[in-house]
Amino acid sequence: MHTRAPASHSPAAPATAARRASRPVALLLAATLALLGALSWTVAGPAQRADAAACAPAWSAGSVYVGGAVVSHGGQNWKAGWWTQGETPGSTGQWGVWRTEGACGGGTGPVDPDPSGFVVSQAQFNQMFPNRNAFYTYQGLVDALSAYPAFATTGGDQVAKREAAAFLANINHETGGLVYVKEINTANYPHYCDATQPYGCPAGQSAYYGKGPIQLSWNYNYKAAGDALGIDLLNNPYLVEQNSAIAWKTALWYWNTQSGPGTMTGHQAIVNGAGFGETIRSINGSLECNGGNPAQVQSRINAFQRFTQILGTTTGANLSC
């Protein structure tokens, strides 16, 4: 694994764009709950469950609809949300998509039943990373999204999916397909401790080796990421290899706020149209770009092309750096 370059500027404040209404927090914070027993909505999706007793008796009693968002598909309106079976609102239940018109059992639609609202579904995530380490959970990524709400939600659906593909393609390269949680043979690597920093290396000189999806390295990067995220990573750098959501947050921190050796962040490179090649520059700069290591660049590009196909979007221009 490569050594993470120093942060080129102070971490930016988290973006202020509104979080997608369909993400879990929005569902859990929905102001009203509606008992579905009287509504007779039809469930679309893998489970084919409805609240009407004639369709699904096991789900007819005590079922609650928690929040949700109206989505349009095929000229019809659909609602998405959580089923619970008489439990506390927001507790784990059956995720489903309900059609707001039509008789019980009528109609289905290819509406993604994933509750996250993220442009990458869990099935697509699994397809991208079939051999990933169990540490890198899809839920961990979803839980981390609230830290940077503008990520993969900016510029329309095509650009949002392109950004997600670009981010995950670079992560794929950094971790060998989400296999490695930390650097290999860390004992043989130099200490990533800049002792000239006023805060030093309180966790020990050997504690700041690369960890997580972006392989966060160096004490000053742990300090900057932790300050931005409200997590004391300077004193607790091992959280990045122990907590999936925190690991994903550090990767999103770098992607959304750090330009590294480049001139812009990965987020800016995609949403502003600079292209995937510029995201490579922001991560590894001259170590790979401008002929530094064309094989590594091509590896990233290959993953990006594969992921954009999975997500059903285009790569845009300027693939290489």
Q: Are 111 and 97 in contact (CB under 8 A)?
A: yes
Q: Which bin fits 128, alpha (ψ -120 to 50), beta or left (φ > 0)?
A: alpha
Write down the catalytic residue from 163, 174, 278, 288.
Answer: 174
The continuous run of DSSP H or E covering 85 comes out as: strand 76-85
- H-only helix segments in the chain: 24-28, 122-128, 138-144, 157-175, 219-229, 244-257, 266-271, 276-284, 294-311
Q: What contacts 195, CB < 8 A, 6 or more positions away?
A: 201, 205
Strand-strand pairing, 33-35 and 76-85: unpaired
Residues 80, 41 contacting (CB under 8 angstroms): no
174 is an active site residue: yes
Active site residues: 174
